[in-house]
Amino acid sequence: MIRQKVIEDIHNDMCLIKHNMFSVAHTAGDVLALGHTQLMVLRAVEKNKGTGIKDLANLLNISPSAVTQIVDGLVEKGLLTREMDLKDRRAISLSLTAEASGRIVEIKKQTTLKIVAAFDALNDDELAMFALLNKKLAEKITGN
């Protein structure tokens, strides 16, 4: 499906713009009882397997103590696990649980459904033009 591919490309570009310009609450995360910051941490751990608190703090530009609090809550919910580094007992590595992986898949599905529904407002020509313009903006904003 060409239309579906175009919508996926637009979604990817919109994520780049969002990441570089501002942060918006993920409504799909709310549906699954996850806050925006919790969702950001889960996605960061998903993309950076085995990451630790300090790395997450740098990646998300928040304090290590804030990351620790968020991680504590996610561990309590059964969404993250902590593992000690065998070489450095002070260092920990974070991993998603199977439940967290499943939630992330569900969030991505819900997000895709919402995006597809939003783009139903455009006909194929308008969608193609929007994709072109969105890509141009994303390249300008991200420098890629």
Alpha-carbon distance of 93 to 19, in angstroms, equals 24
pLDDT tens string, the chain, 144 residues long: the values are: 798 998 899 889 878 766 654 433 344 444 457 777 888 899 999 999 888 999 999 999 999 999 999 999 999 999 999 988 777 777 889 999 998 998 888 878 877 887 788 789 899 999 999 999 988 988 988 887
- Please tell me the predicted confidence (pLDDT) of residue 21: 47
The model's pTM: 0.65
Domain count, the chain: 1
Chain centroid, CA 39 distance in Å: 7
String of DSSP letters for 65-113: HHHHHHHHHHHHTTSEEEEE-SS-TT-EEEEE-HHHHHHHHHHHHHHHH
- Residue 97 belongs to domain spanning: 2-142
- Please tell me the predicted confidence (pLDDT) of residue 20: 53
CATH assignment at residue 99: 1.10.10.10
- Please tell me the predicted confidence (pLDDT) of residue 79: 92
- Please tell me the predicted confidence (pLDDT) of residue 32: 55
Alpha-carbon distance of 66 to 40, in angstroms, equals 13
Alpha-carbon distance of 8 to 112, in angstroms, equals 8
- Please tell me the predicted confidence (pLDDT) of residue 105: 86
